[in-house]
Amino acid sequence: MGDFEQVSVGIVGASGYGGVQLVRLLLEHPNIEIAYLGGQSSAGKPFSDIYPHLEHRFNKEVEPVDVDRIAERCQVVFLSLPNGLAWQITPALLEKGCKVLDLSADYRFFNLDTYQAWYGGDRTDTNTAASAVYGLPELYRDRLQDANLIGCPGCYPTASLLAVAPLLKQGLIAPESLVIDAKSGTSGGGRQAKTNLLLAEASSSISAYGVARHRHTPEIEQICSDLAGHEMMVQFTPHLVPMVRGILATVYATLRDPGLVREDLATIYNAFYRASPWVKVLPSGVYLQTKWACGSNLNYIGIEVDPRTGRVIVMSVIDNLLKGQAGQAVQAMNLMLGLEETAGLPSLGFYP
């Protein structure tokens, strides 16, 4: 693709947090033109009515969702919709020649039976689902370059899988010992009004939720199994913390070789992510903060080994709305289109 060729892009579900992040990123992307915004409840409104802070830069009107209209205008379509809606229009978009990136859970699973067991509903798009590529670039970069349909990972799985991937790929841990303790800001719950996300409910408090049954568990297990080469189960517990953006995932596992030290694992991690511009492995003794990743597409990883227990502790932080959602989708799109993987993505966060 030439340096000056512009790709026309549409966003369906533009009014949510994922949609507004996509708009912000794509407005700054050197190869992209936003040709269509689609929504249901927001149809007919200028985007600046929904997000007034963008009025000086972007005022396109949100239109009703119409597959023919989208296909006429767009080469690439981002679907930022609630679970269970993307699959209803994706086959038609693909048939009309669009490339599709889905930010919901609809195309994240290798097996539709797993999706239906955790998310419910009947699916009639078996062949389409089988063609989807899981959109975590650091693990499936080569596959994304030939993809027409990408199922973008969830925010918790992104932080967790980047933390654990080198351990599983190299067979360094006892798989049954893997525990993931993760914490997310309130924006992970979306823009809809929910009691548990009210300031009075969430402020000055931290709470676990979805214990032993969170929907991201099978997604994490699926990719862990793929990395390890055998079926795995994972203990995953998410928590809500009183901040807007960010995820911290702390991974615990028993090392198969108790003689491994932190420096050994740092060498392995740096080699594993040597071609991954968005993953930063930190020096020994440096303990990351979610604030470091806020506003960027970066993933910071910290590693420690506890010789007393024989366990490795890996800490991973991302911005849940960027590397955990819209930023990762743009990163996957870049690979899909043969663009620079870093194009249009922020490499510096907001600090403090």
Catalytically active residues, by annotation: 155
DSSP label at 75?
S
- The owner of tokens 């499936």 is 140
Is it true that the peptide bond before 352 is cis, omega within 30 degrees of 0? yes
Task: Dump strand ranges (E) for the chain.
Answer: 7-12, 32-38, 76-79, 99-102, 133-134, 149-151, 179-184, 207-208, 235-240, 247-254, 279-281, 299-306, 311-318
Among candidate residues 235, 349, 229, the one with its CA nearest the CA of residue 300: 349
Sign for the CA dihedral angle at 103, 164, 332, 281 comes to: positive
Angle at 8 between CA 293 and CA 45, to 5 degrees: 80
At 271, give phi and psi (nearest 5°).
-70, -40
DSSP assignment of 146-176 equals T-SEEEPPPHHHHHHHHHHHHHHHTT-B-GG
Strand 235-240 with 207-208, pairing: antiparallel
- Cα gap 297→140, rounded to integer Å: 17
Residue 297 identity (one-letter amino acid): N
Contact between 335 and 138 (Cβ < 8 Å): no
